[in-house]
Amino acid sequence: MSSQSVSPAVPQDVSETLPVERVDLRREFNEVGIGEVLDQLDRELIGLKPVKTRIREIASLLLIERIRKRMNLTSEMPTLHMSFTGNPGTGKTTVALRIASILHKLGFVRRGQVVSVTRDELVGQYIGHTAPKTKEILKKAMGGVLFIDEAYYLHRPDNERDYGQEAIEILLQVMESQREDLVVILAGYGDRMDKFFASNPGFRSRIAHHIDFPDYSDDELLAISELMLHDMNYKFSVDARQAFVRYIELRKAQPLFSNARSIRNALDRMRLRQASRLVADLDRALTSEDIMSLEASEVLASRVFSNTSAE
Amino acid sequence: MRVTQGCFSFLPDLTDEQISRQVQYCLARGWAVNIEFTDDPHPRNNFWEMWGLPMFDLHDAAGVLMELNECRKVYGDRYIRMSAFDSSHGWESVRLSFIVNRPKEEPGFRLERHEVGGRNIRYTTKSYAVDRPEGMRYGGK
């Protein structure tokens, strides 16, 4: 193989290994390091029980599949395309990023990058523009995960000549023929995704994992808010925490509640109020404790409370 | 006569797996891979035609292979080469180029001798294939 040594990328010799007879599952599990990823998932994502269960299942399947490959028990590569449905702010995008790293750790995608797109990046503006555009994105996503947010916008039932259909066809073709090169994840709100799948049966059947993201319970939302605050180096005072429990209850009853996203926005507004409260009294010496803690007054200043009291 | 241009041309033709390994090498170094084709393989022909645009921001060779197979479908009877462009400061040029597809038959080149003033001779190489119009060389459609 001396001739190959001149080439810049020396192809590695894939030595013919004999099929393995016995496998230590625990060692295999530790070696791959999915335990860490799954634990991290448990720690950093609150709630989402069905999602976590499904991810665990997929991870186990992939682990077994890896071992089977070593034992020469080849079977077809499992389809890993997924669809995430759920209300706004239930963590679909966050989970998609995690999935990519799990798949990468297990060696089912080679690079593990996530290319996140919406309709704009896939569909062109004039005839002949769509195919190159979609292919460009597909090429960038090869070896990783293609995450299509709000996938139902690809299909416009009211316009027969919409170029979205062309993008869908190219996607379907690649999803089928290059399954080992790329994993496609579609995401969107439940009811609209159902409509989308109904009008594109090809998509539904090519996606093996339909994962539904449930809404968060009040306790989970509180846990999420505390996790977010912790990440931002803030914390609730005892009173503020109690006030926030009530805030969540009231906010949930209001229209346009988008789960964790609403919580994040509420926290951001509270930070503003806290900052202006602190700045109002310029002569005070501040401790780090003062700077870090959010008081009940910040929570109670929210419009959510004033609306109910007005009623 | 086998055309030998660019890297690896004295080796047997690269298989698709070998091609994708090489492409991966280029991508790992942040070079943009580009597919070009021609039916005029004269060594001094610098202007091969481009298949699509150079592919920037790719992570995996599968994307390039996808384009290569598309190109082969259309121009399978011509020479196709990959070139890897390094855009980093100080280089800004092609770092690696190799042929990935060649016609079934390569008729080769002839050497023309021009007798000029005195007993001097000037030499020209000419590909037999280019005697035919573009697109019809190498048994094209």
ipTM: 0.81
Say which of B25, B60, B64 has its CB closest to residue A111. Answer: B60
Residue A304: the pLDDT is: 81
CB contacts, 8 Å: B8 with chain A: 7
Query: Does A139 contact B21 at a Cβ distance shorter than 8 Å?
Result: no
B11, B18, B62 ranked by CB distance to A142: nearest: B62
Identify from B11, B27, B34, B58 which residue to disrupt to test chain A contact, counting A C-beta atoms within 10 A and taking the largest count. B58
Alpha helix (H) residue ranges in B4-140: 16-28, 61-75
Q: Is the pTM of this model over 0.90?
A: no
What is the distance in angstroms between the Cα of B44 and the nearest Cα belonging to chain A? 24
Q: How far is A108 from chain B (nearest CA, A)?
A: 13
- Please list, in sequence order, all residues whose beta carbon lies within 8 angstroms of the beta carbon of residue B78, skipping any fewer than 6 positions away: B37, B38, B39, B101, B103, B137, B138, B140
Q: Which residue of A7, A8, A143 is in closest CB contact with B59?
A: A143
Do the Cβ atoms of B21 and A3 come within 8 Å? no
Burial of residue A311, with CB atoms counted within 10 A of its CB: 0-12 exposed, 13-18 middle, 19 or more buried: exposed
Which residues on A lie below 8 Å from B24 (Cβ)?
9
Sign of CA dihedral A225, A226, A232, A235: positive
Give me the total of CB pairs closer than 8 Å, taking one residue from chain A and one from chain B.
54
Per the DSSP assignment, residues forming a β-bridge with B112 are: B124
Among candidates A7, A11, A143 on the partner chain, residue whose Cβ is nearest the Cβ of B62? A143
Cβ of B25 within 8 Å of Cβ of A3? The answer is no
What are the pLDDT tens digits along chain A (311 aa)?
A: 344 444 444 444 444 556 667 778 888 787 777 788 788 888 888 888 888 888 888 888 888 888 888 888 877 778 889 999 988 888 888 888 888 888 888 778 888 889 999 999 999 999 999 999 999 999 999 999 999 998 999 988 888 788 999 999 999 999 988 888 899 999 998 889 999 998 888 888 888 888 999 889 988 999 999 989 998 899 888 899 999 999 998 888 888 888 888 999 999 999 999 999 888 888 888 888 888 888 888 888 888 887 654 44
The CA radius of gyration of chain A, in Å to the nearest whole number, is 24
A111–B52 C-beta distance less than 8 A: no
